[in-house]
Structure 1
């Protein structure tokens, strides 16, 4: 099972170099593949002695308009002095085409890993997320998708019905428990939140630490509830998560009103991410990069473990929502 229009096999090293040179940048080093599965991303040094990153977009995933909205949002954040990595503009555009492939170029930046147990860093992330959402609230995306149950729950549920990797012996139990989880999420979901532009996939690995946080990879940016960019930083016991949430909120409030009324969406969003992630792997399985990177996805014990994960998430949905300290 694969996405229509999938075609990375023709993206040879020679093709990559020709594409980069077509916009007047000439690599002087080899292309170092970076950790990306959805797209193809490489780092290189050019003849100006600068390091660059080139991203070749997965065919048929986003339209040109959707990609350009992502780029424009990143540039808007840079203009507002928010630390994000925006694509380079050459000859008036940031999205380039070469022999059927679309690509963008970025400055290569370095940094340390964000420390998920560092309270100062957590507060700083909250502060800058408040700034990102301050900019994102100015107007919604017009072309990019909205974060909703259809795209992140119902469509993934349909995709999983075609997943050939689910063992026959557990299919009935798997889908029965999955549907119970979907029903519970749907009952607790609400849409009475302001529609703002989000990072969309703001987990700790998408933050580099320099003198402060540097936000990267806006590939999943979309309209949605502000809490989507916050809950991924919560981990550990309930007491740990309450402390992390309070620290994030302290920083966030410096620039934006904290969305306390969206706290009840945290566990539904966690459930959405669980289902969406499984369906994403299933849809991409014919891409050779995926079996190499996620071999456990084809093992029966993975699917058996998901049945238990569904039950655990159902229990989390039934527990009281997190709240901020008084």
Structure 2
């Protein structure tokens, strides 16, 4: 079967042509990096350090929304927040190689921090406080905004319309979606918490630690939302473990701004939306050959059975007592 996805045309030659059009001389060493949504490469440059080239998925973001992401990164870097900002050429950071928008970044190495370490969590909290302090200065105009139940409903529509869910699970999924929507609507309204510019996908894979320097990377999902969106994904384990982790993050965060205790009640709403959006994301990307190759279990009964179980667990979590930090 012929691969007609746009990424099938992104050959090493096209990658080098796009980069050399900006004045670089590639040495033909091109290494694909781990990225499913976009295509990201480390590209060797003659007599210079390699650079990172990011080719955005066609049709996902507008040029305005990508430029807004880049402007946020440059603003953070100017405020000494450790991010990897795009390289600028005559003031521009975004370029076009039909049909791809692309950007270049300096290379940064490192490893994921130990989220079991309270010292690392305190450091992460410190940089999140700095990030959110900058993020609160103004609002995004073109990036997505967290919408609570509207995000949940959109995710369910994407799953149910994809044809990828086995028929055995459709009825129970629809029932769970109705129940979860009612719970989320009851526990979160778009105007309930102040929103700010966020990273949006703050898991350990998007944190790089090297020589005690922590970098916050991959702002591809940056968004307007509650501060807790960048905090809850760092938590794991039982309730007492999560409270201890939150306290370590809070200690660093409060060096720069008040910790959003009032948003702790929204953690399970944020988690529920992410669980449903992740399944929807896989459904929406299934025509990209990279996805069936990377997630071969997605069409199996086992995945959907476990997904239904996870949604039931979220249903229980939404009616349980939320995490609480005194103060």
Deviations 1:285-309 (A, max 9, x none): 0100101111111111110111111
1:79 alignment counterpart: 78
- Distance, in Å, in 2 between the alignment partners of 1:108 and 1:151 is 37
Bigger RCO of structures 1 and 2 (CA < 8 A, at least 6 apart): 1
Cα RMSD for the two superposed structures: 1.4
> Aligned pair 1:197/2:188, yes or no?
no
Q: Kindly indicate whether the alpha-carbon contact (under 8 Å) linking 1:25 and 1:46 is maintained by their aligned counterparts in 2.
A: yes
Q: Kindly indicate whether the alpha-carbon contact (under 8 Å) linking 1:6 and 1:60 is maintained by their aligned counterparts in 2.
A: no
Pairwise CA distance, 1:15: 1.1
1:251 alignment counterpart: 252
Give the direction of change, closer, same or farther, for the CA distance of 1:235–1:221 in structure 2 (3 Å limit).
same
1:206 alignment counterpart: 206
2:293 alignment counterpart: 292
Deviations 1:1-52 (A, max 9, x none): xxxx962222122111111111111221421111100000000220132121
TM-score by length of 1: 0.96
> Aligned pair 1:116/2:76, yes or no?
no
- In the TM superposition, 1:212-227 aligns within 5 A as 212-227=213-228
Q: Kindly indicate whether the alpha-carbon contact (under 8 Å) linking 1:264 and 1:321 is maintained by their aligned counterparts in 2.
A: yes
> Aligned pair 1:228/2:229, yes or no?
yes
Pairwise CA distance, 1:151: 5.8
Deviations 1:84-119 (A, max 9, x none): 000000122000111321100000110122111011
The unaligned stretches of length 5 or more in structure 2 are none
2:284 alignment counterpart: 283
- Distance, in Å, in 1 between the alignment partners of 2:229 and 2:112 is 21
Deviations 1:183-213 (A, max 9, x none): 2122111322222100111111100002232
SS of the aligned residue for 1:312 comes to helix
SS of the aligned residue for 2:282 comes to helix
- In the TM superposition, 1:307-318 aligns within 5 A as 307-318=308-319
Pairwise CA distance, 1:167: 1.1
> Aligned pair 1:128/2:127, yes or no?
yes
Query: Runs in 1 of length 4+ with deviation above 2 angstroms?
Result: 149-152
Q: Kindly indicate whether the alpha-carbon contact (under 8 Å) linking 2:149 and 2:184 is maintained by their aligned counterparts in 1.
A: no
- In the TM superposition, 1:1-326 aligns within 5 A as 7-149=6-148, 152-190=151-189, 191-210=191-210, 211-325=212-326
Give the direction of change, closer, same or farther, for the CA distance of 1:150–1:41 in structure 2 (3 Å limit).
farther
Q: Kindly indicate whether the alpha-carbon contact (under 8 Å) linking 1:112 and 1:208 is maintained by their aligned counterparts in 2.
A: yes
Give the direction of change, closer, same or farther, for the CA distance of 1:47–1:291 in structure 2 (3 Å limit).
same
The unaligned stretches of length 5 or more in structure 1 are none
TM-score by length of 2: 0.95
Q: Kindly indicate whether the alpha-carbon contact (under 8 Å) linking 1:44 and 1:52 is maintained by their aligned counterparts in 2.
A: yes
Pairwise CA distance, 1:148: 1.2
